[in-house]
Structure 1
Amino acid sequence: MACDNKKENPEARKGYKTPEQKLSSDIMTPEVLWSFGRISNPAISPDGSKAVYGVTYFNKEEDRSYTDLYVMNLADGKITQITDTDYNESDANWTPDGKRISYLAKGQLWEMNPDGSGAKQITQIEGGINGYLYAPDGSKIAYYKDIKMEPTVQDMHPDLPKAKARIINDQFYRHWNDWVEGYTHIFIADYTPAQPITSGQDIMKDEKWESPVRPWGGTEQLAWTRDGQKLIYTCRKKYGIDYAFSTNTDLYAYNTADGTTVNLTEGMMGYDKNPVLSPDGKKMAWESMERDGYEADKNRLFVMDLETGKKKDFTKNFDQSVGNLAWDKDNNTVWFISDYHATDEIYSLNTTSGEIKKHTDGIHNYTSVVPVNGSLITTQVSMSKPAEIYRTDPATGKDEELSFINKPLLDQLTMGKVEKRWVKTTDNKDMLVWMIYPPHFDPNQKYPAILYCEGGPQSTVSQFWSYRWNFQQMAANGYIIVAPNRRGLPGFGQEWLEQISGDYSGQNIKDYLSAIDEAKKEPYIDENRLGCIGASYGGYSVYYLAGHHNNRFKAFIAHCGIFDLEMQYYTTEEMWFAHWDLGGAPWEKNNKIAQRTYANSPHKFVGNWDTPILVIHGQKDFRIDASQGMAAFNAARMRGIPAQYLYFPEECHWVLGCQDGILWQRTFKAWLDKWLK
């Protein structure tokens, strides 16, 4: 986190982590938004009786976060806070015997009793570790840490200790918000609780690739076999420019007895990741994409017989992607989450019959699911509520909230109505559009409205809760939000999702306009006070619409948007993404799809710009370089168009700092208020 660099006396913050705030208004503000507790997915004890999880709160004055651990008794819902320190505890789980809780603190692995007593440091690894996984028999621990492998200027020129430079010889030298100076490697050590573990066996020694795979990968990309003899891990074993153009990760099994490694998914060319073993250890389920270089491909559910190596795609006739796999104790049922019509719901697969069953339906997203003694322990979020832990009945789909972390704040707030409606597109398709209304909405008044353009471009416009693109916060500012599930989004079949690739300026742009044109027919929307906002590909959409909106909008906001598509191709790091989605390279003059893409780059239509625009960008955004935002702002000002540039020198593709996040919200509101009110 950008602001986790300060300490304080723990006595000075007693009670802060479960704040009892008395609000002066029932309308949400940025300060209230950043006061919500952020709950992690719960880890369930082996006997299914308890859950351990973390809750993070931000301290605005210190500009940093605190994460502490809680234990819930699942039978009666009783919750006990078990840590209270001036540092963060995270990645909590249970030791294989269920007697202790494991967690990370100060860069090392620790254990303690379920009541928080008896804390003991388990590792003393130089430089710290990033994550860990116990073998099921408790005999070993796998941990991963960053290994410096690329020589620095000082390594090559020791007489130049103050030189501030990098010498780069191949592509993929930076990723998302980090310079690639090393690789995350997995180590295995014997578990010796009597004395701290100081070193382990690097199972990827001298290999210039990482596991887990950046940028999202964590412990979910690793799995032990039940006998503790093999560790299965996710890896893309490519380097430099080959890595930059490929999504081909595989699942590898490392044998602790002889040190050999076997590729379990050889010949499967897309993403293969997140292995989950059945309780009896005989089968492995995992998520798999078919095509190399296409990161938005359908995420399939594969199952392998680990004895024979035989594998099967159980989602061949299921036109949705899967995620968050979890085996039931019957060794036959796999639970998972899938996006359907803009909500993330819970499904199950019967591996004997092949039947896939949908268990839930509502205005919410599930973000995790764990089967426990006939019920499901889940985490659930919506546009109107941050994540909380629930118990879900798989037979009825009914939920019972268990954690109530944010109830004291939510009880004081009035949230705007969230409405689902279907709109006809220009090619006569049905498109789902979310409408979010201001608190205390009065249909007899007229309100300004904002068209929300989703990023990705293949990200979901589902029931997510964001601390930046928070629809309830936007609505609380007095706006109606129009959020269409335009072409290129998941949840409506693979054909709907894939239409956008190679057609950034095509049908999905028309879908945006269909949504806002239909919405502005409502008598309570003032068609003369419409705004348009978006980030990443949504920022591209804003820049493109700025040159093609035919006077619909009176204000634009683009965050980390693509302004110049050719420059995006040359400067982004994950080349597989740009190459696939843009249709090819700019120099491929006979490639009609690619040339159409670059011909419709937003920067080519600046001559049509006529509307005030706020541009936001972070210097550490390596996905879409900060120069894109500077260029768009400069272009607007050179055209004489009112513009503002909000620049974050320490932020990346997101805004992660507390005070930066509040500044973002304040600037966002002020710009829209200036031009739409």
Structure 2
Amino acid sequence: MTIQAAKFTPEVLLSAPRRTPGLPNSTGEQALYTVSSYSFATHSKTTQIRLLDIQSGKSSVLFENAEYSEPTWVSETEFIFFSRPPGGSTVLAEADLADLPHLEPREIALLPGSFSSMKVKTLSKNVVAMACVAVAKPDGTPYDPYAEPKKYTSARVYDSLFVRHWDSYITENTNSVWYGRLEKRNKGKGRGVGRIGGDTSENQRTQQNQEPRRYASEGASSEQQQQQQQQQRRHPTTHQSCWKLEGEGLTNLLAGQGLECPVPPFGGASDFDISHTGIAFVARDPELSPAIYAKTNCYFVPLTTFTETSPPAPKPVSTPGLEGYSSAPAFSPCGKSLVFGRMRSKQYESDKPRVMLVSDVDKITEGAPADEFWSTQDGDGGWDLRPDWFLWSRDEKELFAAAERNGRTVLWQFPSNVSEAATGLPTPVVADGSVNDAKLLGADGKRLLVTSTSMVDSSIYSIITPVMDPEVEVVSSNSKGGRSFGLSRSQFDEFWFRSGGPSCSSSSPGNGNSSDDGGYDVHALVMKPSNFDPCKKYPLAMLIHGGPQGAWLDGWSTRWNPAIFAEQGYVAVMPNPTGSTGYGMALEDGIRENWGGRPYQDLVNCFEHIERELEYVDTERAVALGASYGGYMINWIQGHPLGRKFKALVCHDGVFSTLNQYSSEELYFPIHDFGGTLWDNREVYERWDPARFSGNWATPQLIIHNELDYRLPISEGLAAFNVLQSRGVPSKFVTFPDENHWVLKPENSMVWHTEVLNWINNYSGIAGEIEGTAFSTAAASGGQPQSQEGEEAEEETAAAAGLLPMRRS
């Protein structure tokens, strides 16, 4: 059925299916993806593996099973995927579209431990190399928590950092990359089970306990569907597998090397890549403290057969003059060349990644340095944006990169030859909304399948031909441009305002550059109610982003979605002040040793611009909300004149006192942002300390702080709440014992939204409690549910397929 929201509420946001990027097959005719959704009625999650016909935009369900994930093509019609039944093991399974309508999942191998982040590379017609990720024990074997011996003490003892990171205490186990080789054989020739550990009895027990379910093929009768579903309600079978895992199964690439990949806490599949020449990955420098230095290196391990049980030692790629964070390694299609990102400073996690090229990976073992695109003598680099990930063209003559610019994540294109690229800067290919992913489409690779989002659409699949035709062809819009959520693109707006100098408006982007008057331009995004009337006035909701090196983007979010506030009746304004990314490094770096200075003045100037220029905004009923650094700014605003401009404030996991920054885990962050250690540069820590001005706190404030937040411990929120209560300021404290710096669990997120919206609505004068309006499946006329096929049926899915940020919030 077509999902249609009567009103975009928190329940609609959190119930909407979330779609992963599309993965096209070798012909470019079909794409695989998964869709997950949460039901507040059954308090459970469902997951589907779906198949998209790229030409028509129609999709069909292949499997529905919450245990299935990461479908990955190994041929034109065959794909492999992971299944995670209850317990500590992972099943590597396969399926073949040629078997439709009787598609059957078949087990290839039972892997002890939890495996994820699958990548494959075709070595020949019937041979595929694969790499994936799992936690390893110190002896190099997979970690299976269900197989661990019982402990009789809860003690933890440390003599080095980290003690804890993000939301967990550090253990002796580490992430690792595992590799192996799959070889195709004829169907029906045996069980096809290659394993790292595991046994038949465990597999039989799992089969008895689990009943995976898949949808029947489209067009089948109800009776046929029931028969097919009953037939398929079992664990992936161990007979008739077409692919087998060669040799001794999967091998730990990093065993005994003292390296960890993916890099915690946000690292994933983008931290490594696979080619027929070997595996490249990034890992923290083992010679430096991970809490004090953000340095990671890019390494290469040459592999020939992918059945090697003792892989060569990883070799770091040399990058003279660059000692910071390395990211997003990507092999060229032939496997000879490698591109990746590398920052300059080893204590600045949000420095600009330079684009680095290894022309011949064989020379890495000889110590040959990588070449830097757009290098300059001063070391700043000629491209002033921050690329996040890379993609090669099929002919290897072009490179694509994703980088933020002016509130969007843009897909850029440039020559793969360093000398040719030096004649100009990258050209934008997709500049609307925010691009999450791009894949080469078809055998010639002249087209791209791009996955993107916007503030009104949770997932868009588009086709673009960069050289021939810059026009974007939308294959599948998850919400029909927002209409399925009751939203429209007309609600989105933006403006620029002057800051840092004489207060004046600016209609053109300045990317944070200074001018003769000492000022600079600052950008802000706007989301209006769907029933917006320019003749009416709407209360202001100012949203302050975290990071602080981050930005509000024209993209979808399930945690801080501006449309949620707009549909309550606010005009949501999202400024990107000093410290924001995507406007050049001068604006971003302007926050260093200046946390409460330039960014605060930017917000003051933004508020004054709204008062002066946006007649439809009622600033007498304004509220402000922020998380992480945005929460710091809420506490800073409380103690300063801008705080009296707001009727209510909301601080999520914010900083109460900058003198407490050493209770955090990534210490290189305050060392950089405050210009040194607490004992070497204490004056700066004290200058921008919100607690110094707590005697001025007077505006009603809601505080949310979670117990698993080890980035900014819960004591920060409790201290702020204690001050507010002691001063008699109306205040409320909300905590989630099982959440970290973010609120991710759907039921908790529903409470979060309810508490936040009720708080600001009470003080802004917007009447009513929050209604948990669910999706309506009724037709526009007659009130009867309508069933639709094809592209409209595809709109049942909504996405939150964004990459986890490296930055702090």
Same fold (TM > 0.5): yes
Displacement of 1:246: 1.7
Displacement of 1:310: 5.1
Does the Cα contact within 8 Å between 2:94 and 2:107 map onto a contact in 1? Answer: yes
Does the Cα contact within 8 Å between 2:318 and 2:369 map onto a contact in 1? Answer: no
Q: Report whether the alignment pairs 1:323 with 2:302.
A: no
Partner of 1:225: 275
Does the Cα contact within 8 Å between 1:129 and 1:144 map onto a contact in 2? Answer: yes
Q: What are the Cα deviations for residues 163-218 of structure 1, in whole angstroms up to 9, with x where unaligned?
A: 33322332212221222222012233343662232253323224454211112222
Displacement of 1:292: 0.7
Displacement of 1:401: 2.2
Whole-Å Cα distance in 1 between the matches of residues 450 and 722 of structure 2? 47
Q: Which runs of 5+ in 1 are unaligned?
A: 1-18, 151-157
Q: Report whether the alignment pairs 1:143 with 2:145.
A: no
SS of 1:261's equivalent? coil
Displacement of 1:404: 3.4
Q: Report whether the alignment pairs 1:358 with 2:358.
A: no
SS of 2:632's equivalent? helix
Partner of 1:8: none
Partner of 2:437: 368
Correspondence 1:6-155 to 2 at 5 A: 20-21=2-3, 23=5, 25=6, 27-85=7-65, 87-95=66-74, 97-106=75-84, 107-114=90-97, 117-137=103-123, 138=127, 140-149=129-138
Partner of 1:504: 595
Whole-Å Cα distance in 2 between the matches of residues 486 and 527 of structure 1? 19
1:391 aligns with one of 463, 475, 483:
463
Partner of 2:403: 338
The root-mean-square deviation of aligned C-alpha atoms, in Å, is 2.5
Q: Which runs of 5+ in 2 are unaligned?
A: 85-89, 140-147, 185-191, 197-248, 375-380, 502-518, 766-809
Distance 1:557 1:397, change over 3 A: farther
Does the Cα contact within 8 Å between 2:456 and 2:482 map onto a contact in 1? Answer: no
1:564 aligns with one of 657, 660, 664:
657
Does the Cα contact within 8 Å between 2:457 and 2:478 map onto a contact in 1? Answer: no
Partner of 2:483: 410
Displacement of 1:424: 0.7
SS of 2:721's equivalent? helix
Q: What are the Cα deviations for residues 81-106 of structure 1, in whole angstroms up to 9, with x where unaligned?
A: 11112x232222212x4442122221
Distance 1:161 1:94, change over 3 A: closer
Displacement of 1:38: 1.2
Displacement of 1:46: 2.5
Q: Report whether the alignment pairs 1:467 with 2:467.
A: no
Distance 1:244 1:209, change over 3 A: farther
1:294 aligns with one of 348, 354, 357:
348
1:430 aligns with one of 494, 497, 521:
521
Q: Report whether the alignment pairs 1:665 with 2:656.
A: no
2:182 aligns with one of 191, 214, 224:
191
Correspondence 1:532-551 to 2 at 5 A: 532-550=624-642, 551=644
Whole-Å Cα distance in 1 between the matches of residues 353 and 757 of structure 2? 37
Does the Cα contact within 8 Å between 2:257 and 2:313 map onto a contact in 1? Answer: no
Q: What are the Cα deviations for residues 21-50 of structure 1, in whole angstroms up to 9, with x where unaligned?
A: 454x3x311111113221111222233332
Whole-Å Cα distance in 1 between the matches of residues 120 and 149 of structure 2? 44
Correspondence 1:237-636 to 2 at 5 A: 237-238=285-286, 242-256=289-303, 259-267=311-319, 268-306=322-360, 307-308=362-363, 309=368, 311-315=370-374, 316-352=381-417, 353-354=420-421, 355-360=424-429, 363-372=432-441, 373-394=445-466, 395-407=468-480, 410-411=483-484, 413-415=486-488, 417-427=491-501, 428-521=519-612, 522-550=614-642, 551-567=644-660, 569-588=661-680, 591=681, 594-636=682-724
Distance 1:108 1:337, change over 3 A: same
Does the Cα contact within 8 Å between 2:411 and 2:431 map onto a contact in 1? Answer: no
Whole-Å Cα distance in 1 between the matches of residues 24 and 525 of structure 2? 34
Distance 1:357 1:498, change over 3 A: same
Does the Cα contact within 8 Å between 1:482 and 1:516 map onto a contact in 2? Answer: no
Distance 1:346 1:121, change over 3 A: same
1:203 aligns with one of 229, 250, 253:
253
Does the Cα contact within 8 Å between 1:185 and 1:202 map onto a contact in 2? Answer: yes
Does the Cα contact within 8 Å between 1:532 and 1:556 map onto a contact in 2? Answer: yes
Counterpart AA for 1:442: D
Counterpart AA for 1:312: D
Whole-Å Cα distance in 2 between the matches of residues 233 and 452 of structure 1? 36
Does the Cα contact within 8 Å between 1:332 and 1:350 map onto a contact in 2? Answer: yes
Displacement of 1:548: 0.6
Whole-Å Cα distance in 2 between the matches of residues 140 and 361 of structure 1? 32
Partner of 2:731: 643
| TM-score (ref. length: structure 1) | 0.89
| Number of equivalent positions | 641
Which has the bigger relative contact order, CA under 8 A and spacing at least 6? Answer: 2
Counting aligned pairs with the same residue, the percent is 23
Whole-Å Cα distance in 1 between the matches of residues 540 and 551 of structure 2? 21
Partner of 1:675: 763
SS of 1:242's equivalent? coil
Does the Cα contact within 8 Å between 2:623 and 2:764 map onto a contact in 1? Answer: yes
Counterpart AA for 2:131: A
Distance 1:108 1:28, change over 3 A: same
Displacement of 1:559: 0.4
Deviates more, 1:285-294 or 1:57-66: 57-66
SS of 1:297's equivalent? coil
Q: Radius of gyration: which is bigger?
A: 2
Whole-Å Cα distance in 2 between the matches of residues 338 and 519 of structure 1? 29
Does the Cα contact within 8 Å between 1:542 and 1:558 map onto a contact in 2? Answer: yes
Displacement of 1:160: 10
Does the Cα contact within 8 Å between 1:20 and 1:408 map onto a contact in 2? Answer: no
Does the Cα contact within 8 Å between 1:468 and 1:665 map onto a contact in 2? Answer: no
Q: What are the Cα deviations for residues 460-493 of structure 1, in whole angstroms up to 9, with x where unaligned?
A: 2111211121101111111111211111111111
Whole-Å Cα distance in 2 between the matches of residues 586 and 263 of structure 1? 36
Whole-Å Cα distance in 2 between the matches of residues 49 and 524 of structure 1? 48
1:165 aligns with one of 137, 151, 155:
155
